[in-house]
Amino acid sequence: KVLIFIVSVLAFATANAKVGGIQYATPGDFSLGIMLGIPPAGANDGARMPMISLDGNWGVASGFINTSAFGQNGAIDLGFYYGICAYKEDLKKKYGPQWGDGGILQNAVLFRAAFHFQFVENLDVYGGISNGVNIWSPTGESDKIWDTDVKYAGGMFFGGKYYFSDVFGVKAEFPVFDWNEGNLPTFAAGVSFNF
């Protein structure tokens, strides 16, 4: 409910912003994204909640590729990604009927870098790389079996943002590679705010 409220307020506040004709991820720009995603595939029995993620990115360079069709183009940004989701664990099936509910809570904390290119006005297409950690925490009676575990996480991703105004847009992302262990949703979509 809080997430829906925040998105609604920000969308309303940017509804009258000027449309079109800008390049995104320029130096000094900050973008904030909120997404819901299909949890990463893993050895767990299933997901209790989708991957909810927040990402923030700062533009550090832009306009360094000169193209005849798209003009001065290309941009690079650096940022962070935080995602959280929960999995259920069928302890009764594995350890017997005396066990109660259990599960695993996944927190992905990643640093990201991405290259952006605009083929169409208001459409920001990008791809990048992420590195960080996954923090796996047991929930319910799973804490009798496992301790919290922190592991390296990283991967590559691509996505796109379509801006309806200078500030507000929608976005979607897909992983390309997800190495070491699942940390990126198999598909995520949400909203983006450019400041």
pLDDT tens-digit readout, 75-96? 999 999 999 988 877 766 666 6
pLDDT of 60 reads 92
The H or E element spanning position 92 is: helix 91-95
pLDDT of 96 reads 66
User: What mean pLDDT value characterizes the chain?
Assistant: 79
- For 51-64, write each residue's pLDDT tens digit: 899 999 999 988 77
- Beta-strand relationship, 30-38 and 102-120: unpaired
pLDDT of 2 reads 44
Question: For residue 147, what pLDDT band results from cuts at 50, 70 and 90?
Answer: confident
pLDDT of 42 reads 52
How many angstroms separate the CA atoms of 86 and 71, rounded? 45
pLDDT of 181 reads 63
Tell me the torsion sign for CA atoms 178, 183, 186, 187: negative
The H or E element spanning position 181 is: none
pLDDT > 60? residue 187: yes
Q: 67-71, 112-116, 146-150, 173-177 — which one is most confidently predicted on average?
A: 112-116
pLDDT > 80? residue 162: yes
Nearest to 100 by CA among 149, 145, 147, 43: 145
Question: For residue 8, what pLDDT band results from cuts at 50, 70 and 90?
Answer: low
How many angstroms separate the CA atoms of 106 and 87, rounded? 8
Is 171 or 16 the better-scoring residue by pLDDT?
171
How many angstroms separate the CA atoms of 108 and 152, rounded? 10
How many angstroms separate the CA atoms of 102 and 84, rounded? 17
pLDDT > 60? residue 68: yes
